Amino acid sequence: MKAKKINYKLLVLLLIFSYISSAQTFKATQQKASRVKTAYTEKWDDLKAELIKRNFDATNFEICIRAFKHDKLVEIWLRSKNEKQFKLFKTYDICYYSGSLGPKRKQGDGQVPEGFYNVAVFNPYSNYYLSLGVSYPNSSDKIIGKTNLGGDIMIHGNCVSIGCIPITDTYIKELYVLAVEARNGGQQTIPISIFPAKMDEKGMNFLNSEYGDNAALLSFWKSLKTGYDYFEINKQLPKITVDKAGKYVVN
């Protein structure tokens, strides 16, 4: 039997169509939830206009999220797909956080995690309007933490929290829409970096003065700072691994 010739052009077109359809399906599926639909109605036109005004590609961008507990800030950084460097787009206030500075190590400690994570889930039916799940515990947490680490850490709406990062309903609508758009455009991994404070000279002086007698905590923060510094200098995401002790290493 004579083998059939493969139409590679047709195969490529089918793959592209499949990819685009899959991406569109994510946004369409999210918008079936009334809260996401409302968020798009209220926020997307203004966000899109601001993106265009600030020279972002509003149809094709990537997002990363950085949170600072002591400063009570969440930074939203974006870059168009044809750009290498991220640029700061929005800064939101963290309206409340539980616990103290330092990482989360066990269930029930009330701590907000610290480290390098990703968006693990989009929840359009959250008890706190909308929420983006943080991929806690990560490999570092599993090495250093207790046996029962807990979970279900979110960036969400409202202004209450036990271990989560609430930024009010108004701002979670914006962040959720931006994250859906980035995911819809093909960004499979959305980074979330959570720091005890801004780890510049002022922030490190504060941490050293307040926690100078806690060598283990300062050592952990020093490993966090390597990732912080890389992003500050390069405005690109560092490639981070975890050593046997659970400390972060920038490659």
- Among residues 64, 95, 159, 164, the one annotated as catalytic is 164
Catalytic residue of the set 64, 70, 95, 156: 156
Tell me the DSSP string of 91-104. EEE-----S-SS--
Determine whether 164 is an active site residue: yes
Is 95 annotated as catalytic? no
Q: How far is it, in rounded angstroms, from Cα 41 to Cα 109? A: 38
DSSP per-residue string spanning the chain: -PPPPP-HHHHHHHHHHHHHHHHHHHHHHHHTSHHHHHHIIIIIHHHHHHHHHTT--TTSEEEEEEEETTTTEEEEEEEETT-SS-EEEEEEE-----S-SS---STTS-PPP-EEEEEEEEEEEETTEEEEEE--S-HHHHHHS-S------EEESSS--SSSEE-HHHHHHHHHHHHHHHHHTT----EEEEESS--SHHHHHHHHHHHTT-HHHHHHHHHHHHHHHHHHHHSS---EEE-TTS-EEE-
Active site residues: 156, 164
